[in-house]
Chain A
Amino acid sequence: DVVMTQSPSSLSVTPGEPASISCRSSQSLLQSNGYNYLAWYLQKPGQSPQLLIYLGSNRASGVPDRFSGSGSGTDFTLKISRVEAEDVGIYYCMQALQTPLFTFGQGTTLEIK
């Protein structure tokens, strides 16, 4: 299985400040079509995961533009340009390279200072 590792495990951010989460995969997620098969999700307290970013850097419908995804191969980053109170929750990266054996990172908890 492709192992996904996130860092940090948690972060506390002041509203209006930026935040960054790293995700590393044990195998390259870059496919021959030029896309990275990496998605980011946010799971707000008591809710289902919601898709933020797909194919490494594409924002899903309705996702604010303060969220951005970057990286390629085995190293990826999710950035929030200005954290808002509604961004609290657990962020997960997920690989779709070994479809359908999807695997998720262990999660990064974002809290507001």
Chain B
Amino acid sequence: QVQLVQSGAEVKKPGASVKVSCKASGYTLTGHPLHWVRQAPGQRPQWMGWINIGNGNRRYSQNFQGRVTLTRDTSATTVYLELSSLRSEDTAVYYCARYYGDYEAFDIWGQGTMVTVSS
């Protein structure tokens, strides 16, 4: 079935970087970009960026001021989110989500990865 499986929780110190993975399966990956959305505790979800697994095209939210990098491993059908220069405000659950064009919505979400930034 269609699913997105993410890597496990991370604890990082301020100033460090974190890399989260999202493995996709069960559908034609090139047809649907994968997006990253984060949700800080008690906050609304916040869009971070997207990447097309097939051709590598990507776009980032300006809200992260160049700290976000999305990469892909086509053979492993996996995408990666790297967030650098971490600060306490980056403590959040990070989700990957499939954007389904016919719906103009995210129809499949990963289980989420908790990233805690603490000294």
Contact = CB atoms under 8 A, between A and B. Distances in A.
A99 interface: yes
B61 interface: yes
B47 A102 contact: yes
A96 B105 contact: yes
Contacts of A104: 44-46
Interface stretch (A12-20, A46-54, A71-79): A46-54
Contact of A100 (B35, B95, B107, B112): B35
B112 A51 contact: no
A101 B61 contact: yes
Interface of B: 35, 37, 44-47, 49-50, 59, 61, 95, 99, 103-107, 109-112
A67 interface: no
Contacts of B109: 48-50
B104 A99 contact: yes
Contact of A39 (B44, B49, B95, B104): B104
18 contacts: A48-B109, A48-B110, A49-B109, A50-B109, A51-B103, A51-B107, A54-B104, A60-B107, A94-B45, A100-B35, A100-B49, A100-B50, A100-B99, A102-B37, A102-B47, A105-B44, A106-B44, A107-B44
Interface of A: 35, 37, 39, 41, 48-51, 54-55, 58, 60, 92, 94, 96, 99-107
Contacts of B50: 100
Contact of B104 (A60, A92, A96, A106): A96
Contacts of A35: 104
A92 to B, nearest CB: 7
A94 B111 contact: no
A49 B45 contact: yes
Given A92-B45, A107-B44, A48 B105 contact: no
Contacts of A54: 103-105, 107
Contacts of A99: 104
